[in-house]
Homo-oligomer: A and B are copies of this chain.
Amino acid sequence: MKNSLAPLTFAFSLLFLAATAFAQPATRTPPPPSPEVHADRTVTFRFRAPHAQKVELSGQFLRSNQPMQKDESGLWSITVGPVEPNLYPYNFVVDGVGVADPVNPDIFPNEGFKASLVDIPGDTPGLHHLQDVPRGELTYAFYESKTLNRTRPLVIYTPPGYRAGKDKLPVFYLVSGTTDTEETWFRAGRLNVILDNLIAQKKAVPMIVVMPYGNMHVGMPRPDSPEVAAAYRVFGDELLTNIIPYVEANYRVIADREHRAIAGFPRGGGQSLFTAFNNPDKFAWIGSYAAYLTPEVCEKHFPSFIADAATTNARTKLLWLGVGKSDFLYQQAAAFNGYLTEKNIKHIELITEGGHTWMNARHYLAETLQLFFK
């Protein structure tokens, strides 16, 4: 496995560090390499902060924040693990404030906090590791939202061979979480790498994946509140009125419900369920990663989808719901699964170990990628 994203040793002159920095405090020592993943899968994290009183490591591989130790030069460090192979978000909590690892370019894109990513390789490459397979492309695009009167970003995956090809392809709309951006499914979710690998293994069919910016800036009530429906509806309108027409005008797609999927984590999952249930003529493939709707919202907004299970089941190619047992939304997600069962709505449940993590989100993504459009 070759991994270009992990930083190698940084060795640059002080002059050239200054050359690309700007009005920064003078740095007399080069930044420490961090994170350093050792052969035994222990990992050393380092952060230079001579004046901080307390620095902790926070990460999805930890049960709780771990205190880091300061040396006489002001360099804080900690070695943890061995850590189970996976790709994990982490950050440093410096006197109570979470900050990304300054010397790690592999960032976790988010509007509400800054974090970084660390990859712990296993004995064999993971689905999220670059392998020697044909590669798709990621395209950054902008579209005009007539409804929001704004230019908004999209990230679009096209599979290997798309540029030179002529075939029309199915499309999967993969929706971001509350404070995530259109980039989070690419960077923290490694959508492109996972799908390249699954297509090479013939476990997924070639498809286009559209990653919208899910934040509609309309506020976000709790998912168990009836008011959440109004917020979800703004996303659905944006998707149907602006995003799907943009994609269908610019990409070779099969523009019917049987070739259109939608899923997301976690607010993106709620938006996906609401949009798909509300528009059964538009989506035949539906995924929910650690998300749910309440019976109250379902019965108010799509009564026939729920009441007429025979029609719903005949039309829905897949309704897939995954959640971890330690997820703080587990009880609500499990209750939603039970509600669907009680209403005879056909669906697939996957209950895993673990919590509300990107390791689980990638797992659920990989599961659904292998089911869509088959």
Contacts and interface: CB of A to CB of B under 8 A. Distances in A.
B89 A17 contact: no
B102 A153 contact: no
Contact of A59 (B23, B100, B109, B222): B23
Given A19-B329, A20-B112, A4 B217 contact: no
Given A111-B7, A140-B138, A12 B51 contact: no
Contacts of A302: none
A52 interface: yes
Copies in the complex: 2
9 contacts: A4-B142, A4-B153, A10-B112, A12-B220, A16-B266, A20-B179, A25-B96, A49-B95, A95-B95
Contacts of A4: 142, 150-153, 213
Contact of A95 (B7, B13, B51, B98): B51
Interface string A1-33: 011110111111101111111111100000100
Contact of A17 (B31, B103, B178, B217): B178
Secondary structure call for the A interface? loop
Contact of A60 (B22, B150, B177): B22
Interface of A: 2-5, 7-13, 15-25, 31, 48-54, 58-60, 62-65, 89, 91, 93-100, 102-105, 107, 109-115, 130, 132, 135, 137-142, 144, 149-153, 163, 177-181, 186, 192, 213, 217-223, 250, 266-267, 328-329, 356-357
B11 A177 contact: no
